Amino acid sequence: MTLRTADSKLNTARDEKSMRLPEGRLCAQVVEQLKDIHRGDAIYVTQGTLWVTQEGDPQDYVLSMGESFIADRRGTVVIEALTDSKLHFSRN
């Protein structure tokens, strides 16, 4: 498992003007930490397969193309691309 946060294609800064951020890309085995996630924020997989875990949630999730993860609490979410993947991140 490789942890990379530099040069992230995912922007987690809150932007009141844009609730949906541009599509992000993750290469297989790349891990991203999304900090300051709020309840209702969502990750939508448009290509590939992601592993997702949320701070304080004992369950992990594997998402494939067309599936989504919606945060049920505030905190950090960690995602790993199991295959080359594309995703959208949407703020609540």
Average pLDDT over residues 12-22: 43
The identity of residue 43, as a single letter, is I
Average pLDDT over residues 50-73: 95
Q: In what order do the strands lie in the sheet with 24-26?
A: 24-26, 85-90, 42-47, 68-70
Question: In DSSP terms, which residues pair with 69 in a beta bridge?
Answer: 43
Is pLDDT above 70 for 75? Answer: yes
What is the 3 state secondary structure string of 2-38?
EECCCCCCCCCCCCCCCCECCCEEECCCEEEEEEEEC
More confident residue, 76 or 92: 76
CATH of range 20-90; options 3.40.640.10, 3.40.50.720, 1.10.10.10, 2.60.120.10: 2.60.120.10
Predicted structure pTM score: 0.74
For the chain, the domains span 20-90
Phi/psi zone of residue 59: left (φ > 0), alpha (ψ -120 to 50 degrees), beta? beta
